[in-house]
Chains A and B, each alone.
Chain A
Amino acid sequence: MVFHKRRWLVRRLFFNHEQIRTMSRVKRRTTHPPYWHVLKNNQRDDEKISSDNLCFVREVIQDKYKNKSPIKGSDLDIEKTVWDPKTKRSGVIARNIGVQHMWEKDGKKVICTVLHVLDNHVVRYVPPEEYAKSVIGTKMFKNRKPLGCLVVGAEAANPDRFTRQYCSLFDEVGLLPKKRLARFIVTPNAALPPCTPLTAGHFVIGQAVDVYGKTIDYGFQGVVKRWGFKGGPASHGATKFHRRGGTIGTGRDKARVWPGQKMPGHMGSERRFNRGLKIVRINMKYNIIYVKGTVPGPTNSIVQIFDTILPRRRFTEAPPHPTYFPPEDGTLPQEDIWDSSLHVFGSPSISV
């Protein structure tokens, strides 16, 4: 640690730029999905079909999907695998539905984000050998041991709005096509068979999670909002220099503008992880998780929740592995589970 600090100090003596030059040329956003994705949304306009035909189409869809018997936990052929501290479990797709204020037992207020775990179903498991050959797999596992990939879908929707190729992704499994898909990297012992539902019970009270989301899109923003520049004086004769960047280089070193120079541009809509957020409350009935802190993205946006990778906040005891299943004997779990540090609203007022 000390060695690195000295190197950084030495570097500072010779250069007077402190700029983010790594990743400055990498494209951070696209408006189109990757080329290997199947075309998702129906491209044709609303066909003018008669109401009778429309009813018939709906009946067909209902027949296709409705008459499947619900999967029982005992029916799913899950091998009884053992959890170990190096296991990577599946994550979950959720919607950030807002922020709620709660209070701890000493009266301190905490801001909790409310995450609604949507109707997640496992679509497919890709074993490590196969996933290592894929486009992303080759990049990810270049110098390390390959892991499996679990494709999870959330938010079932009317098949009408999707293309046939997209619906075929779910046909093999017999699921209604899902609006959102996500891949979760899992160790082979945490693999799940297709059609497994993932609920809020997948997580444990008090555990730390990482939440991935796309940050709020601010659009094209100036340098003051985007980078926190101070701009210029509001008065005292300043001519047209209130929110501008000012100088962008010295003229001496390198005699050009360095790549990564902070300038106005598109701000937001970027992938970010908020790590180590503590789960303080789980509502099993509505599939809601309350997480202490904030998550990237605006309200009503989709996020992904994983078990944390932070080394000091990882699991020491086994969580529901590979995922949570309601108990076989039909006993209902506690509907609303609170962390011990939080003040439950129905309990008496706090006396400090």
Chain B
Amino acid sequence: MLRRAVLQTFRQGLAQSFFKRNAVSLSETTVTHQTVETSDEGGEKFVSTQKTGDESGNTVIVAPPEFRFMYPEFLPDPAMETRNRLKEKLERMDMLQRRSVIEIPEFYTGSVMAVTVSDANSPNKFARFVGICIQRGGSGLRAWFILRNVVEKQGVEILYEMYCPLIQKIEVLRLERRLDESLLYLRDALPEYSTFPLDMEPERRLNNLVVPINPLKVKLRPRPWLERWERQNLQGVEDLNLPQRFYDKAEKVAKPWEKYDLMLHYRKTIPAEEQEKIFAEVQSQLQQQELKRKMRRRRGSDNEQ
């Protein structure tokens, strides 16, 4: 069977495959968006599945647009020279496999998280660290995030790779966002803004549908700083109170035309159509995993009762 399948792909499928590319498509599938009513299920977050139809009437699953913020590491690196669809697909399969074992929750820069890692040098072989997520990046299995905390007056930052199998547990203690995508300025801020108790309890979310934005304006220590914060358009920082010459130099060095550069933004992002395809591919599996976890939690709470 495999022999036939393998050889058929090689021989008969070949003629079809390159003709598909060249031939004019007779039925161009158009996705018609139909309004779907979202409903809360007992206060739990309900991720709506929009089922849209094409001309032939087959349902095409489209993942909700929030997915690109909840799971940004599923999107590949936009650099075209190193992109390959097959490799990205295989990587996504591996990521889903890992996610079936451990829950990697939704989090954003500014959320307070606790990560438990298996560590041979620790007394109980497991090391738990609590901190605020100041930056996240990477795509695919290389996705990472940095947690920052101040422990005994010493600022500590740890970079965790999200899909590393040494990680036992990732908990989000406080899910919120800040006014900036990167909180590296906390390194130059007063220590109370980066201090979180190591035995912090997870906080309940008031509203499961919306992730709150914390409009906190952080106070920075007096200069010298690690970076020129006045040049970075930070929203989450109090007035820097610098002499005017700093702001003049910042204006000289600034690139205000970049916000009009469409090609620059195009090259830095994955096109919307491709994003839809990617998330449609992973969406059903992610939802299944969510449901399983919810059922396990309910069963666990029932057993306790």
- In the complex with contacts A107-B164, A346-B100, A286-B90 CB distance below 8 A: yes
Of A62, A65, A103, A332, which one neighbours B1 at CB under 8 angstroms? A332
- Asked if B141 and A100 make an inter-chain contact with CB atoms under 8 angstroms apart, the answer reads yes
Distance (whole angstroms) from the CB of A62 to the closest CB of chain B: 5
Give 6 pairs: A residue, B residue, CB < 8 Å, sorted on A.
A70-B12, A199-B6, A325-B3, A330-B3, A349-B167, A352-B120
Which residues 320-352 of A sit at the B interface, judged by CB distance below 8 A?
325-327, 330, 332-333, 343-352
- In the complex with contacts A103-B164, A197-B6, A349-B102 CB distance below 8 A: yes
Distance (whole angstroms) from the CB of A336 to the closest CB of chain B: 9
Of B2, B87, B100, which one neighbours A330 at CB under 8 angstroms? B2
- Asked if B168 and A349 make an inter-chain contact with CB atoms under 8 angstroms apart, the answer reads yes
- Asked if A101 and B141 make an inter-chain contact with CB atoms under 8 angstroms apart, the answer reads yes
- Asked if A116 and B86 make an inter-chain contact with CB atoms under 8 angstroms apart, the answer reads yes
Q: Does A224 contact B (CB under 8 A)?
A: no
Q: Does B11 contact A (CB under 8 A)?
A: yes
Q: How large is the interface on B (under 10, 10 to 19, 20 to 34, 35 or more residues)?
A: 35 or more
CA distance A225 to B290 in the complex (A): 50
Which residues 238-297 of A sit at the B interface, judged by CB distance below 8 A?
283, 286, 288
Distance (whole angstroms) from the CB of A211 to the closest CB of chain B: 16
Chain A residue at smallest Cβ distance from B100:
A346
Chain B residue at smallest Cβ distance from A350:
B165
CA distance A158 to B34 in the complex (A): 41
- For B31-68 the 0/1 string (1 means CB < 8 A from A) is 00000000000000000000000000000000000000
A-B CB pair tally, cutoff 8 Å = 127
**Binding site secondary structure of chain A:** loop
- In the complex with contacts A98-B82, A158-B18, A352-B120, A107-B91 CB distance below 8 A: no
Chain A residues positioned under 8 Å from B288 (CB to CB): none
Give the A interface residue count (CB, 8 A): 50
Q: Does A40 contact B (CB under 8 A)?
A: no
Q: Does B7 contact A (CB under 8 A)?
A: yes
CA distance A97 to B86 in the complex (A): 8
CA distance A202 to B141 in the complex (A): 28
Which residues 90-109 of B sit at the A interface, judged by CB distance below 8 A?
90-91, 94-95, 97-98, 100-102
- Asked if B15 and A299 make an inter-chain contact with CB atoms under 8 angstroms apart, the answer reads no
Q: Does A42 contact B (CB under 8 A)?
A: no
Chain B residues positioned under 8 Å from A348 (CB to CB): 101
Which residues 39-73 of A sit at the B interface, judged by CB distance below 8 A?
58, 61-62, 65-66, 68, 70-73
